[in-house]
Amino acid sequence: MPIPKAELHLHVEGTLEPELAFRLAERNGVELPFDGVEELRAAYRFDDLQSFLDLYYRLMDVLRTERDFTELAEAYLERAAGQGVRHAEIFFDPQAHTARGVDIGTVINGLGAALDRSEAAYGITTRLILCFLRDESAESALATLAAAEPYLDRITAVGLDSAEVGHPPVKFVEVYRRARELGLRAVAHAGEEGPASYVWEALDLLEVERIDHGLRCLEDEELVARLVRERIPLTVCPFSNVRLRCVDTLADHPLRRMLDAGLVATVNSDDPAYFGGYVDQNLTATAAALGLTEDQQYTLARNSFEASFLDEPTRARYLAELAAHREASESDSASVSVPVSVPA
Ligand code: HPA
Ligand code: ZN
């Protein structure tokens, strides 16, 4: 059984597998510029964040109805259950849909229908995080938050994603202030391709509680010291970092250095349909590439629950489940008999 964990950095639109994309394209009469699943999958080779975003936004065009969003989220939850995910905090990008004429209510109600069934169907508790596209204007972000107000009972937090460089957090101070007034919590992508200064801004100006990615914090000792001291979680996505060429190979990934520095790192899948694997695959492949100890792998899982927006009783229940998983895995490995000496 995979280690129980929370997934805190997952774009639901990034879980759109080629097979589902073609099925929805056919159902909705949308032309995709690819001649089948194989050709589409072959297009999943990226030079940087922007080259990925171009395909990610293009493929979203197949998502049109509430049912489409429900099926998208259900497909993710079903896969996540098999990866040991017990809690998922799911990003969505309303502006990528409203810009195509899809109502924000269609998006939120469609996702919401899947999330309502998630605990009973998959044993996964969920939260929804509304992300603003940082390469759109601050006014567009404010209008998006206003349009989401009738659905706030479904939304836990706001986030910030899309093309990072040239779109610093300072651009979104007002919309984050408004989100706080509405009782929403806050996270932001920072330090993925953008500099460490964007991480400082996200903390000081947007008052976020977690940093998504945060890789480039390692370039700034004073920033690392602050993240450690204040126990600000980083939602790290190893496969994404390699596929978008933020890191050369998995063996070069700084996750182990992050843990050694005392950072509250978690492992996540970001856009698993595009980056070659879901969250447990990220964890196990990265652990193997970096030689992470069992202890470090359990620390990552514990961090994921501690960094989540769960209520305290549920958090405690998951942490107890994690501890029981560890005890069971230790007694399993202790019961494997090792030949001590073989008489000649
Ligand atoms: N970074 C920024 N925006 C995104 C990402 C990402 O990794 N995935 C989907 N939107
Ligand atoms: Zn992301």
Does residue 46 form part of some domain? Answer: yes
Does residue 233 form part of some domain? Answer: yes
Q: If pLDDT is split at 50, 70 and 90, which confidence band does 340 have?
A: low
pLDDT tens digits along 279-308: 999 999 999 999 999 999 999 999 999 999
pLDDT tens digits along 216-265: 999 999 999 999 999 999 999 999 999 999 999 999 999 999 999 999 99
Quick one: tokens of 260?
A: 């050694």
Domain of 222, in residue numbers: 5-325
Does residue 331 form part of some domain? Answer: no
Number of Cβ atoms within 10 Å of the Cβ of 222? 10
| 30-39 average pLDDT score | 96
Look at 44 and 343; give whichever has higher pLDDT.
44
Please give the tally of structural domains in the chain: 1
Please give the Cα distance from 17 to 40 (Å, whole number): 10
Q: How far is the CA of 254 from the centre of ligand 2 (A)?
A: 17
Does residue 343 form part of some domain? Answer: no
3-state secondary structure (DSSP) of residue 133: strand
The set of protein residues with a Cβ atom below 6 angstroms from ligand 1 is 11, 14, 49, 56, 161-162, 189, 192, 240, 270-271
Q: How far is the CA of 56 from the centre of ligand 1 (A)?
A: 9
Given the residues 17, 89, 164, 192, the one annotated as active site:
192
pLDDT tens digits along 99-129: 999 999 999 999 999 999 999 999 999 999 9
Does residue 330 form part of some domain? Answer: no
Does residue 333 form part of some domain? Answer: no
3-state secondary structure (DSSP) of residue 27: helix
| 90-106 average pLDDT score | 98
- C-alpha neighbours within 13 Å on the C-beta side of residue 167: 19
Summary mean pLDDT of the chain: 97
CATH number of the domain where residue 213 is located: 3.20.20.140
Q: Can you give the pLDDT at residue 333?
A: 80
Does residue 338 form part of some domain? Answer: no
Q: Is the pLDDT of residue 187 over 60?
A: yes
| H or E, element range at 186 | strand 185-190
Q: Which ligand is nearest to the CA of 15?
A: 1
Helix, strand and coil in the chain, % to nearest 5:
55, 15, 30
- 74 tagged catalytic: no
Please give the Cα distance from 16 to 296 (Å, whole number): 31
Does residue 248 form part of some domain? Answer: yes
Pocket test for ligand 1, best of 10, 129, 189, 269 (most atoms within 8 A of CB): 189
Pocket test for ligand 1, best of 7, 12, 50, 52 (most atoms within 8 A of CB): 52
Q: If pLDDT is split at 50, 70 and 90, which confidence band does 344 have?
A: very low
Collect residues with CB below 5 Å from ion ligand 2.
270
Q: For ligand 1, atom 3, which residue shows the shortest CA distance?
A: 162
Q: Is the pLDDT of residue 338 over 70?
A: no
- As a whole-number percent, the residues of the chain with pLDDT over 90 amount to 95
